[in-house]
Homo-oligomer: A and B are copies of this chain.
């Protein structure tokens, strides 16, 4: 992987821009447009939350209607357009129509994403002005600055999140560029996670969907900041086919062709997902939790996620405390099959438990190591099988409480 700055516009055939249209009180950029120079194959995964935001409902119907042929995505930060009733749905549709019109695109080729305040009507006058502005500037020099788009979708994210990978599919160079925003929020929103990956690969819709599901399953679905699932979470991938590689189809799902593409897509998603976890609200550390020796992968994932969402474990890590009892206790309530007498635990290079017995270890050295590192690995072996899973999270700090308690509606 090379530098990832302006990742989405480093993929040939894609333009992107970010502008300020007044949705964020800070006056920072808050509207992004990504535009392909041709119709793309698209696939998307959405939040499983029963209260889906208006843009999610719009996009679900759009994907159904078009079979996933899209050319652009419009993303705003500052207002989530969630729990906004029928007016919210009409507004989401209007945002797509206006973008199509401003960019001279056919109807039903624009995907819409929103993140920000819940339960407030979208200020459509600002959106209208913003859409004219992104459509104006995207065909200028500014349209090559993917970085500006990545910045425009940030809410309380501290850094923009971008990832770029170049690979080769049967001799043809193929590029993938992604951007994401994570677990920051403009109060009173949720920790909405949005991501877009664009690629010039030639791939059929069903194969793209299969690749996306596989990539998301072990990346975006394996991160947690605080266990809350947003009404707006969405991951979209657009594939233009401009790379001219042999078409990746469902027939090739077992082939190196598909594997090469999926592993590159997984790499992009992994970089973005870990960046989201690392930049979790108030986080001081990226925490990687691996559960091995589990009966099934689902149990390994459940156990790892239970540790990843345990406030007791996360506050201990914030306090640089090698508090392994909290990790074991979280695993113990996760529902995963464990053998208490065969469970072992490591924190970084320190083995803390071997076959259920606590080991003597240098607690001061462990504390000092935790205090110095911003990346912690915790590994548990349940001693009952061969399955494993890794999840990523962050610690729970005073800052998390501040961010989520001190901004008022």
By a CB distance below 8 angstroms, the chain B residues around A318 are 401, 405
10 nearest A-B pairs in the assembled complex, by CB-CB distance = A319-B405, A118-B325, A315-B404, A51-B332, A49-B332, A229-B333, A50-B332, A119-B358, A188-B323, A226-B311
- Shortest A269–chain B CB gap in Å is 21
Is B191 a contact partner of A328 (Cβ separation < 8 A)?
no
**Residue in B191, B324, B338 whose beta carbon sits within 8 Å of that of A119 in the complex:** B324
Interface residues of A (CB under 8 A from B): 48-52, 82-85, 117-120, 187-191, 226-231, 309-312, 315-316, 318-326, 328-333, 336-338, 340, 343, 353, 356-358, 363, 367, 396-398, 400-402, 404-409
- Shortest A182–chain B CB gap in Å is 14
CA distance A402 to B118 in the complex (A): 30
By a CB distance below 8 angstroms, the chain B residues around A340 are 50-52, 83
Is B309 a contact partner of A227 (Cβ separation < 8 A)?
yes
Is B401 a contact partner of A230 (Cβ separation < 8 A)?
no
CA distance A400 to B400 in the complex (A): 12
**Residue in B323, B363, B397 whose beta carbon sits within 8 Å of that of A401 in the complex:** B397
Beyond known contacts A119-B325, A323-B409, A396-B401: 17 more, CB 8 A cutoff: A50-B340, A51-B338, A83-B328, A83-B340, A118-B328, A119-B353, A187-B321, A188-B323, A188-B326, A226-B312, A311-B404, A315-B400, A318-B405, A319-B406, A319-B408, A320-B408, A363-B408
- Shortest A50–chain B CB gap in Å is 4
CA distance A398 to B405 in the complex (A): 10
CA distance A229 to B325 in the complex (A): 12
Is B326 a contact partner of A228 (Cβ separation < 8 A)?
yes
**Residue in B51, B310, B320, B402 whose beta carbon sits within 8 Å of that of A228 in the complex:** B310
Is A230 a contact partner of B396 (Cβ separation < 8 A)?
no
By a CB distance below 8 angstroms, the chain B residues around A231 are 325, 328-329, 332
By a CB distance below 8 angstroms, the chain B residues around A187 are 321, 323
Chain B residue nearest to A119 (CB atoms) is B358
Is A311 a contact partner of B228 (Cβ separation < 8 A)?
yes
Chain B residue nearest to A228 (CB atoms) is B312
CA distance A382 to B229 in the complex (A): 18
- Shortest A315–chain B CB gap in Å is 4
By a CB distance below 8 angstroms, the chain B residues around A322 are 409
What are 15 residue pairs bridging A and B, where the CB atoms are less than 8 Å apart in the complex? A48-B333, A51-B331, A83-B328, A188-B316, A190-B312, A229-B333, A315-B400, A315-B404, A315-B405, A319-B405, A320-B408, A396-B401, A397-B401, A398-B401, A398-B402
CA distance A330 to B396 in the complex (A): 19
By a CB distance below 8 angstroms, the chain B residues around A230 are 329
CA distance A349 to B125 in the complex (A): 34
